[in-house]
Structure 1
């Protein structure tokens, strides 16, 4: 039981670390522009907080206005940050909650495991929405031919790491939730055992049936 709980917790923590990476990595969408006036194609990448140019300078700058950010990345900002907070709260509940539950009489420590798993699962869903939305937009607008230049869009490294984070968070959340639920059911079964009915002589009644 303890080994399964640790494996679920480690899986979810790795997913949380991957979520931190995609939040900071400025490579959600990579765009390449090929123009007839320039010899080499120009490329740049967009992240949640900055956009980077790879035309020889390799500089990154913050967005000057929300109008520069596409709607999918605007939603991704909110949902990724919310997922990070949710996963961190789940981690605190899983680690600190069991120690706190052991100090409180009548509090089932397995409930903290179930709640922690549910929060990790929620964090995975919060990441899944923007990752899937951005992936769909990039695939649907992969190549846009224009008169002066052709623009191609590709999935950035953050998208691939994001799918891994979703898988890890959902898997860890499911493992912890199932362990917490099963442990609670087992404890209830142990607490409510059948009581033998005894006759006046003190022997079980089943002996006289």
Structure 2
């Protein structure tokens, strides 16, 4: 039953990772610029996200503006949008598929089918992790490069926001959960994966202990 517990642990990681990637996609603080200012009404914090830009003023007011125009956005923002949305969809698909492949559930039928489902769910989670990791790392690298560039004015320099950290951690959890699901299904005997011609589906030599 050790691998059953590992699958439960991986499922919890997948839920946390999927929630983190979804939160990072929606949060507006991918880029953050803090300006002390000396005026009465001054923008203290300016945040830029994939879907909206927000500003926090010294008076306590907080305003956001949605990015309605897709064509007016830079290419890297459009690519990050597509990658993060794909990561959310793949993580949801991986969570649903891995639920069928878990040995503690009654879904999926025979052990061979459940093993295939667990492997497919692991691949989806791995793909979701990679899809969420690429834009977060890319954004962080671009922000750090601009911040260290002496040609960029001090007033235009920005820092990585909290959404990047949330997205990075969520993508890492998805990668770990995907690896665990793929490893759990490979514990089965080879004859559970490859069936010789004319061999019946139920192999008496198959030991269920190898599966769980």
TM-score, with structure 2 as normaliser = 0.77
**CA distance 1:191–1:73, shift in 2 (3 Å):** same
Name the residue aligned to 2:175: 170
Question: Residue 82 in 1 paired to residue 89 in 2?
Answer: no
**CA distance 1:149–1:187, shift in 2 (3 Å):** closer
Q: Give the secondary structure class of the aligned counterpart of 2:65.
A: strand
Aligned equivalents of 2:152, 2:11: Cα separation in 1 = 53
Aligned equivalents of 1:162, 1:83: Cα separation in 2 = 10
Task: Provide the aligned length of Structure 1 versus Structure 2.
Answer: 190
Q: Give the secondary structure class of the aligned counterpart of 1:30.
A: strand
Question: Residue 23 in 1 paired to residue 25 in 2?
Answer: yes
> Gaps spanning 5+ residues in structure 2: where?
195-201, 206-212
Q: Between Structure 1 and Structure 2, whose CA radius of gyration is higher?
A: 1
**CA distance 1:41–1:100, shift in 2 (3 Å):** closer
Name the residue aligned to 1:121: 126
Shift of 1:152: 2.0
Shift of 1:143: 5.5
Q: Give the secondary structure class of the aligned counterpart of 1:101.
A: coil
Name the residue aligned to 1:154: 159
Deviations 1:152-209 (CA, angstroms, capped at 9, x unpaired) = 210000001111011100000000011112225374699496xxxxxxxxxxxxxxxx
Aligned equivalents of 2:81, 2:150: Cα separation in 1 = 29
Name the residue aligned to 1:60: 64
TM-score, with structure 1 as normaliser = 0.78
CA contact (8 A) 1:33 1:149 kept: no
Name the residue aligned to 2:185: 180
